[in-house]
Amino acid sequence: MNLADLPLSHAADASAAPAEPTEAQVRHDLAALYRLIAHFKMTDLIDTHISARVPGPEHHFLINRYGVLFHEMRPEDLVKIDTDGNPVDPGDADANRVNAAGFTIHSAIHMARHDLSCVIHTHTADGMAVACRKKGLLPITQHALRFYDRLGYHDYEGIALDLAERERLVADMGTHKAMILRNHGLLAAGRTIPEAFVNIYFLERACQAQVKATMGGDELVYPSAEVCERTARQFERPTAMAYCERVWKAALRLL
């Protein structure tokens, strides 16, 4: 069955804006997301990051305490920082600071895209492999068509330590919710934590399929541009957020 056609029991409420969660709920869900990323083998030891916006006008967000492995992440292992990278809570001393490169990438998106509450960055083998290809993600699978003409590309500038790169990251992402960091990895975001999870999961799976499809040497089959666009629009149906919530609740049972 086409994932875009799965029935939704609460479709009538799917287009409604999600209620703003509490900080405690964001911490709980973000810690769970870290563990799910570990479960699906999208980790890179203590590197790469997932961040989530903290409710409120202060523009704070949560990110992992550097050195904690994703599969062991707990709500209390998340550090609340401001857009300058400074820990907000007194208990987060210098020894618990976040990774500088992670701050650069995530703060760029959070500062510019207030419509997005969660940002995920990965260094998977298949994601990096596609990031090395000149044409990037090819429109050859249904999973890839979710991102057809809806995917940014950012050229590699070295380890993301230069805060000046933030402006270019934001410009290259544009209005999209996902981006390929060339020669580096993948980035996906969402209006909610469940939506960000769905976006990184399917972007990663699309990269995995592409790597396998291009290994055989046979000529690839490409859908027409019209079919590609139609499929991408199907993934943007009004029930899309309800689908993300359904996926999230199912995925949480893995934990």
pLDDT of residue 4: 38
Could you give the CA distance from residue 10 to residue 195 in angstroms, rounded to a whole number? 17
168-195 as b/e, with b when 16 or more CB fall inside 10 Å? ebbebbeebbbbbbbebbbbbbbbbbbb
Q: Specify the residue for token string 């479709």.
A: 11
Could you give the CA distance from residue 201 to residue 242 in angstroms, rounded to a whole number? 16
Share of the chain above pLDDT 90, in %: 78
* Cβ–Cβ under 8 Å, residues 113 and 173: yes
Structure tokens at 164: 């000046």
pLDDT of residue 99: 85
More confident call, 167 vs 89: 167
Sequence length of the chain is 255
Residue 17 has pLDDT above 80, yes or no: no
Query: What confidence tens digit (pLDDT) does each residue in 185-232 have?
Result: 999 999 999 999 999 999 999 999 999 999 987 899 999 999 999 999
pLDDT band, very low/low/confident/very high, at 6 (cuts 50, 70, 90): very low
- Which residues touch 227 (CB under 8 Å, ≥6 apart)? none
Residue 35 has pLDDT above 90, yes or no: yes
* Cβ–Cβ under 8 Å, residues 71 and 31: no
pLDDT of residue 56: 86
Domains annotated on the chain, with CATH: 20-252 (3.40.225.10)
79 Rama sector, left if φ>0, alpha if ψ -120 to 50, beta otherwise: beta
pLDDT of residue 18: 57
Helix axes 193-213, 23-39, angle to 10 degrees: 20
Rounded to the nearest integer, the mean pLDDT of the chain is: 90
pLDDT band, very low/low/confident/very high, at 20 (cuts 50, 70, 90): confident
Helix intervals (H) in 21-162: 23-39, 100-112, 125-131, 142-145
pLDDT band, very low/low/confident/very high, at 85 (cuts 50, 70, 90): confident
Report the range of poorest mean pLDDT among 4-13, 64-73, 153-162: 4-13
More confident call, 14 vs 194: 194
pTM above 0.95, yes or no: no
pLDDT band, very low/low/confident/very high, at 64 (cuts 50, 70, 90): very high
* Cβ–Cβ under 8 Å, residues 40 and 50: no
Q: Residues 90-101: what's their mean pLDDT?
A: 70
Q: Specify the residue for token string 């920082």.
A: 81
pLDDT of residue 94: 60
* Cβ–Cβ under 8 Å, residues 154 and 182: yes
pLDDT of residue 11: 34
Could you give the CA distance from residue 62 to residue 55 in angstroms, rounded to a whole number? 11
Could you give the CA distance from residue 1 to residue 232 in angstroms, rounded to a whole number? 16
pLDDT band, very low/low/confident/very high, at 10 (cuts 50, 70, 90): very low
